[in-house]
Amino acid sequence: MSHLLREHAPITELGWKMIDEEARGRLTPALAARKLVDFAGPHGWEHSAVGLGRTTAVASAPTDGVSALQRRVLALVELRSSFSLAREELRDADRGAADVDLGALDASARRIAIAENVAVFHGWEAAGITGIVEASSHKSIELGEDCERYTRRITRAVETLLSVGVGGPYGLALGAEAYTRVLESSEQGGYPLLDHLREIIGGPLVWAPGVHGAVLISQRGGDFVLDVGEDLSIGYDHHDASAVELYLEESFAFRVLEPDAAVALTL
Amino acid sequence: MWHDAGVGFDQYHEPPDELSHQTRTFARLCSSLTEEAEAIGWYEQRLDVEADAEAGAIMRDAQGEEFKHFCMDLEFLLRRTPLWREIAMGILFQEGDIVAHGEESEEEAVEGAAARGAPLAGGTSLGIGALRGAAG
């Protein structure tokens, strides 16, 4: 039995299949960080920390004549987003209903995906995670709200990375607001801005809910690592006569290995 | 389109553009695993007939590389396929009757997974993993 306790939930095999598929479908488009940074794992629920290869001096030693260093690690954080499903809806799903209300699951998936994006791009101080934007060694570039300037600004961001020897292709995480603007815009001659930006960066342009502005990231690899213990899973908490309480969960840490490899663009 | 000129995609049995990137990676590693096993078999045959000790030593060294590659491919596939891993754990490195271990291990793993509603190919997680290459 895994710690997710799925077998204790009053949910049939068909019900679990529907829930898992719905979660996968909702999570995948929103998990922007995983589309742009290296992914290590999943190493399992028991995986607790990532070795950093660094040490801290220990102030005192048990006896005279010895010295000590303590290894530094980055502890994984467990992220959980709870949701409740009506048992009547689950029973209807078993009867073959195709319009089951899984709205709470959808909202939960959106919350945890945004949390992962925010932790990776903007950091999570309380969990010891430094995000890409705060770690970047480059001055941020103003993206602004005027789409006509986006091509020039993003070209400048590419030049910034090239100038310090960080090669492409590059990926662009666009916050929801900026993404919509890009999607709606075309340049003179009607050429879609989205396609032009893709040509400039040479890599993926990703919808990144939770990201403020945009972030240009080298896709050469080895610069940013998402270390995952337990990958996104659904577990069971408790139930009563009318509802089942479930949760989405993952454990991860995030490391910036090369602060030169990303540039933030602000709105 | 997926069939770029000059690039082979023999490892796919379904149109690659209809497969998820996880399944494409899985298929590539399955192909790699097969190739390593074939190479191990070829080196075994060459070593069997080779009379020159120096040539034999080189082949033995090369076969060792293939052992390593095979094991790395296998470990990757087992990590990504918890049900496969569970069955393998009941068979690999066990004393006794291999076939009996296989039957028991398969039965326990499949029934256990079905009973707890776990996705057979994705274990207890949703199997999302890395999404690089999934965006454009």
**Lowest model confidence (mean pLDDT) among A24-28, A140-144, A185-189, B13-17:** A185-189
Average pLDDT over residues A255-261: 98
Q: Are residues B45 and B89 in the same domain?
A: no
B5 shares contact with chain A (CB less than 8 Å): no
Co-location of B34 and B48 in the same domain: yes
pLDDT tier at A146, thresholds 50, 70, 90 = confident
Instruction: Please give, rounded to a whole number of angstroms, the shortest distance from the CA of A30 to a CA of chain B.
Output: 11
Q: Residue B127: its chain A contacts at CB < 8 A?
A: 24, 231
In a domain, B51, yes or no: yes
Q: Are residues B69 and B97 in the same domain?
A: no
Mean pLDDT of A148-171: 95
Contact A7 B115 (CB under 8 A): yes
Chain B partners of A230 at a C-beta cutoff of 8 Å?
125
Band of the pLDDT at A185, cuts 50, 70, 90?
Answer: confident
Q: How many domains are there within chain B?
A: 2
pLDDT at A141: 97
Question: Residue length, chain B?
Answer: 136
CA angle A204, B3, B1 (to 5 degrees): 45
Partners of A51 in beta bridges: A73
Q: Is there a contact between B116 and A17 if contact means CB atoms under 8 Å apart?
A: no
pLDDT beyond 80 at B6:
no
Contact A39 B130 (CB under 8 A): yes
Angle at A4 between CA B86 and CA A243, to 5 degrees: 135
**Domain chopping of chain A, boundaries:** 6-54+68-266
Phi then psi dihedrals of residue B122, to 5 deg? -115, 5
Alpha helices, DSSP H only, in chain A? Answer: 13-30, 33-36, 87-95, 103-122, 132-135, 150-163, 176-184, 193-201
Residue B128 to residue A34, Cβ atoms within 8 A? yes
Give me the helix-helix angle, A13-30 and A87-95, nearest 10°: 110
B23 and B71 both lie in a single domain: yes
The distance of B19 to chain A (nearest Cα, Å) reads 15
Contact A180, A146 (CB under 8 A): no
Residues B32 and B85 in one domain: no
Asked if the C-beta of B125 comes within 8 angstroms of chain A's C-beta atoms, the answer is yes
In terms of pLDDT, which residue wins out, B37 or A188?
Answer: B37
The dihedral built from the CA positions of residue A189, A190, A194 and A198, taken in this order, carries a sign that is negative
- Best of B22, B76, B81, B126 to disrupt the A interface (most A CBs within 10 Å) is B126
At residue B23 the predicted structure's pLDDT band, cuts being 50, 70 and 90, is: confident
Tell which phi-psi region holds residue A41, choosing left (phi > 0), alpha (psi between -120 and 50) or beta: left
**Nearest Cβ partner for A39 among B119, B126, B129:** B129
Residue B136: pLDDT band by 50, 70, 90 thresholds?
A: very low
Q: Helix (H, G, I), strand (E, B), or coil: what is residue A74?
A: strand
Say if residue A247's pLDDT is above 90: yes
* CATH class held by domain A6-54+68-266: alpha beta
Average pLDDT over chain A reads 94
A7 closest CB neighbour out of B117, B131, B135: B117
pTM of the complete model: 0.73
- Collect all residues of chain A within an 8 Å Cβ-Cβ radius of residue B131: 28, 31, 34-35, 39
Same-domain pairing of B91 and B59: no
**Higher-confidence residue: B13 or A153?**
A153
CB contact under 8 A, B131 and A35: yes
A6 and B117: CB-CB below 8 Å?
yes
- Note whether B25 and B61 are same-domain residues: yes
B85 and B33 in one domain? no
On whether both B32 and B68 belong to a single domain, the answer is: yes
- On chain A, the residues whose CB falls within 8 A of the CB of B115 are 7
Note whether B114 contacts A: Cβ–Cβ < 8 A.
yes
- Domain shared by B95 and B56, yes or no: no
Q: Which chain A residues are within 8 Å of B136, Cβ to Cβ? A: 198, 204-205
- Interface residue of B83, B108, B111, B116 to substitute, partner A, most A CBs within 10 Å: B116
B46 & B88 share domain: no
Q: Which of A141-145, A216-220, B80-84 has the lowest mean pLDDT?
A: B80-84
| pLDDT at residue number B116 | 44
Mean pLDDT of A29-58: 93
Q: Are B101 and B86 in contact (CB under 8 A)?
A: no
B60 to chain A, any CB pair closer than 8 A? The answer is: no
What would the two tokens of residue B7 be? 């690039």
**Residue B66 counted as domain residue:** yes
Provide the residue range defining the domain that includes B42: 19-80
Spatial separation of the C-alpha atoms in residues A50 and B11, rounded to whole Å: 35
Q: What is the pLDDT of residue A209?
A: 97
Residue A76 has pLDDT above 90, yes or no: yes
Whether B26 and B74 map to the same domain: the answer is yes
- Mean pLDDT across the stretch A113-135? 97
Average confidence (pLDDT) over A217-235 = 95
CB contact under 8 A, A7 and B131: no
